[in-house]
Amino acid sequence: VLGTTPMAAKRLIVIVLFDGVTLMDVVSVAEAFEIAERFSRETTLGSYEVELVSRDGGAIRSWSGMAVETKPWSQLDGRPIDTIIVPGGGPPERPPVPGDAVAWLRANAERARRVCGVCTGTFLIAASGLADGRRVTTHWQAIGVLAEQFPLVMADADPIYVKDGRVWTSAGFAAGIDLALALIEEDEGHATAVAVAKLLVMFLKRPGLQPQLSALLRAQSADDPDFSRLHAWIAEHLLEDLRVERLATIAGMATRTFERQYTSRIGRTPGRTVAELRMDAAIRLMTSSGYSLKDVARRAGFQDEQNLRRAFLRLRGVTPEMFRKQVDELPASSRHSVSQTS
């Protein structure tokens, strides 16, 4: 490298693949960085180079059967690595932990600034010892197994993603996008991350309608009939008093027991769930109607605009105005109806 370079060097993002890898974990992260890279070409920001590697290179057969082309990881020798990303593999309740990949990780983690596990990729990181004493998360179905197999790591079911020192881990599948966005935000700032998110959201929203409950919540309570019913009840009574005490009564438990049971079985606090469900409703109203923000707030159970605004900032990091603007900028074909003002 010659003295002063006007352009920042490309950050090398290494994604480590193995047989049985979950393709979505790979794709969610790779696409996010790819978009960030394209975005950075129009600006002067640093940018990324993504490499998919495996032990021998060549085609890797994913869990779903689709094959991905990779380079042998020996080709990385001598190159500075910025971030190592380990995707998960299927099935999530009994994830594969290939020994050669773990060994490579152990030998090469020192070279990287950050090491990240997506979904059950956390298992490989835990197996390499990099996560000892650190807080990590993984796919919700695997969190118990992780805690059992690796007593030295602190497994946490609550967050979408966790950063503990240089080790980042995320929950299942598409949560890899959230992780990647967080990494991009750390590197390039909030504005770039939001811009990338905006492009990704456009892409992700296309398939269609917002589900009644967020996919995450439904997945989390799928095998828990009590709380699954409670969630449905909450979704139908968003305008009422939904304080924890009330929810406990509905669920037929003492307040303290309810709090504890809910947090440990669902993996998030009751108050957080109420906020999420009201957010779901607000977003649905904003994307399918032309209600004013005041009306959206009222109809989603937030009482007034200030509360709606606070919830958006807390849960999504944007104001309702910013969110609505993004939705309005989507292609008309991906929306149900139009709400246009500006």
C-beta closer to DNA: residue 186 or 245: 245
Tokens of 70: 């990779």
- Minimum CB distance to DNA, residue 64 (Å): 36
- Minimum CB distance to DNA, residue 94 (Å): 23
- Minimum CB distance to DNA, residue 21 (Å): 33
Listed residue (58, 56, 127, 51) closest to 89, CA to CA: 127
Encode burial over 181-206: b for 16+ CB neighbours within 10 A, e otherwise.
bbbbbebbeeebbbbbbbebbeeebe
- Minimum CB distance to DNA, residue 231 (Å): 14
Residues 6 or more apart from 74 whose CB is under 8 A from it?
none
Residues of the shown chain interacting with DNA in the complex, contacts defined by CB under 7 A: 242-245, 253-257, 259-261, 263, 269-272, 275, 303-304, 306-307, 310-311, 314
Q: How far is 228 from 75, CA to CA, in rounded Å? A: 49
Residues 6 or more apart from 276 whose CB is under 8 A from it?
214, 217, 268, 315
Q: How far is 2 from 68, CA to CA, in rounded Å? A: 36
3-class SS of residue 92: coil
- Minimum CB distance to DNA, residue 54 (Å): 39
Q: How far is 92 from 138, CA to CA, in rounded Å? A: 9
C-beta closer to DNA: residue 218 or 272: 272
Encode burial over 40-60: b for 16+ CB neighbours within 10 A, e otherwise.
beeeebbbbebbbbbbebeeb
CA 273-295-198 angle, to 5 degrees, is 60
C-beta closer to DNA: residue 106 or 309: 309
C-beta closer to DNA: residue 215 or 254: 254
C-beta closer to DNA: residue 73 or 312: 312
C-beta closer to DNA: residue 149 or 307: 307
- Minimum CB distance to DNA, residue 251 (Å): 10
